[in-house]
Amino acid sequence: MNVTFFGAAHEVTGSCHLVDTGAEKILFDCGMFQGGQFNEQKNHEDFGFDPASLDAVVVSHAHLDHTGRIPKLVRDGFRGPIYGTHGTLELAELIWKDAYHIMKYNNKKTGDPVLYTEEDVTRAMSQCHAQSYRTPFSIGSATIVLKDAGHIFGSSFIELTSGGKTIAFSGDMGNENVPILQDSEALSPVDFLICESTYGDRLHEDERMRKDILLELVKEGVRRGGTIMMPAFSLERTQEILYMLDEMAEEDKTLPQFPIFLDSPLAIDAMPTYTTYTDYYDKDAKEKHMQGNDFFKFKQLTITRTVEESKAINTVPSPKMIIAGSGMMNGGRIMHHAMRYLSDPKSTLIIVGYQAEGTLGRRLYEGAENVRIFNEHIPVHCTIKAIGALSAHGDQDKMLDWIGSSGTAPQKVCFVHGDDHAATELAHKTRDRYGVKTIVPEFGEKVEVE
Ligand SMILES: [Zn+2]
């Protein structure tokens, strides 16, 4: 058995790893590459393998950088089954449709080519076969189990056994004690691990402080009297933030009343999935649900689905808070709010997720004084804050613990889904702690499972 890396090699996006069991070819994830452009040129290139030769695709979770090229894979000849949890596949379908609309919009504006058509999305949907957590299923000689990764709703890590060897793929590993989600499960004893390393060189703030930091930043922003912008990934961060804001409003009656806008059609469309699979909830969320407390609806919250409703936010006096995608500010409605409020010294931008190199979010995070949005020059005068503890990814300590969570560390660990520094540092730390072989594979590199 061997694994070849066709994405997320020395970078965070484009997750795509080909497992060859000797009898079957199984693809783990097929995500979009995302940097400064929503739809990077790299997405249009050949996969590096023949899509028609694949027996199956198994997806770890719905995020675009893990599923976004699946409709293209189908367009290019893949006809086999696509496996993932029920939550993952439902959300992936929303993500594909949303991405198609963004690409169509960009195509009209700039002529950028779209990656796939609506028909490709429909076809991909017809190839989806949803699975339950912890319930083994077969792909030829291989047995697959999906376990909860605690990263986003429905997210999993994948364990595959074939020919007496077991390999695992972390997908994206969640942070500890996040709202709504259960914590990530322990890894089984495996021979070989493909492991994400997004925050492989960083430690987050104490997660117990998470809500306090958010509350403080929001209060500060309200005191300044401006607009609080929160670019959020439509799946998960948004729902978790709403959950925390709802709790805040309930627990802290001194919190000034100000409107909160959820300005993300994708996040709004994802709500039914969150309310369907309540068995994915953690203990607190289950209790709230049992008590009939809908944590996605509260007094201050206004949902703005249409473009007109979104534009009307501008006319609402400050202070106000806007949660909008995209999370890395490389497209979506947040761009329009950023154009309006980045130059306002009273306003605040709160960054709550990973910002890839080349994105507007990253430039702002790094302190850019001027930025360009839709070819317009915008001076940055607002306050910019970031909360590491709100990240959807485990930090270095979490990853190191998880790698050894079965009691026996895998013999070989390949680090993907991290930039050079993060992947290399986590590889060194893993080698030092467990004495195992670590690799940071190159794009196209084939690694044997021993
Ligand atoms: Zn993810």
Centre of ligand 1 to C-alpha 417, Å, is: 10
Number of structural domains, the chain?
2
Same domain, yes or no: 45 and 135? yes
C-alpha 250 to ligand 1 mean position (Å): 30
Instruction: Name the domain boundary from 346, 363, 390.
Output: 390
Cα-to-chain-centroid distance, residue 77: 27
CA 247 to ligand 1 centroid distance, Å: 25
Supply the range of the domain harboring residue 257.
207-390
pLDDT of residue 247: 80
pLDDT in tens, 134-153: 999 999 999 999 999 999 99
For residues 198 and 226, state if they share a domain: no
Query: 287 and 335: one domain?
Result: yes
Same domain, 185 and 223: no
Residue 189 has pLDDT above 90, yes or no: yes
Question: What whole-number distance in Å separates Cα of residue 426 and Cα of residue 397?
Answer: 9
- Domain's final residue, options 371, 390, 409: 390
- Ligand 1 mean position, distance from CA 312 (Å): 31
pLDDT value of residue 9: 95
State the distance from the centre of ligand 1 to the C-alpha of 176, rounded, in angstroms. Answer: 15
Ligand 1 mean position, distance from CA 240 (Å): 14
Residue 208, pLDDT above cutoff 70: no
CATH classification at residue 258: 3.40.50.10890
Question: Looking at 30-39, 161-170, 181-190, which range is the least confident one?
Answer: 30-39
Do 242 and 270 lie in one domain? The reply is yes
Of residues 402, 391, 333, 9, the one with CA closest to residue 170: 402
Residue 38 confidence (pLDDT) above 80: no
What sign does the dihedral 32-37-39-45 (CA atoms) show?
Answer: negative
Residues 433, 381 share a domain = no
Together in a domain, 182 and 35: yes
Quickly state the pLDDT bin for 400 (edges 50, 70, 90): very high
Supply the pLDDT for residue 347.
98
Domain co-membership, 140 together with 268: no
Q: What is the mean pLDDT of residues 339-353?
A: 95
Confidence band for 407, pLDDT divided at 50, 70 and 90: very high
Q: Indicate if the alpha-carbon torsion angle 178, 187, 402, 267 is positive or negative.
A: negative
CA of 296 to the centre of ligand 1 (A): 21
Q: Assess whether 283 and 416 both reside in one domain.
A: no
CA of 172 to the centre of ligand 1 (A): 5
Is it the case that residue 389 has pLDDT exceeding 70?
A: no
Check whether residue 143 and residue 217 sit in a common domain.
no
* Chain centre distance of CA 340: 27
Q: 447 forms bridges with which residues in the sheet? A: 3
Same domain, yes or no: 136 and 220: no
* 117: CATH: 3.60.15.10
- Confidence (pLDDT) at 445: 98
State the pLDDT confidence band at 390, using cuts at 50, 70 and 90.
low
CA dihedral sign, ordered 31, 33, 34, 38: negative
Q: Which residue has the higher pLDDT, 364 or 256?
A: 364
Which of 373, 390, 407 is the C-terminal boundary of a domain?
390
How many angstroms is it from 279 CA to the middle of ligand 1? 20
The rounded Å distance from CA 345 to ligand 1 centre is: 32
294 shares a domain with 379 = yes
Distance from the CA of 251 to the center of ligand 1, in angstroms?
Answer: 30
Tell me the per-residue pLDDT of 233-280, one tens digit each, with 9 for 90 and over. 777 678 888 888 888 777 777 767 899 999 998 888 998 898 899 999
Percent of the chain with pLDDT over 90: 72
How far away, in angstroms, is 381 Cα from ligand 1 center? 31
Average confidence score pLDDT of the chain: 92
- 68 alpha carbon to ligand 1 midpoint, in Å? 12
pLDDT at 150: 95
Q: Which helix (H) or strand (E) holds 310?
A: helix 307-312
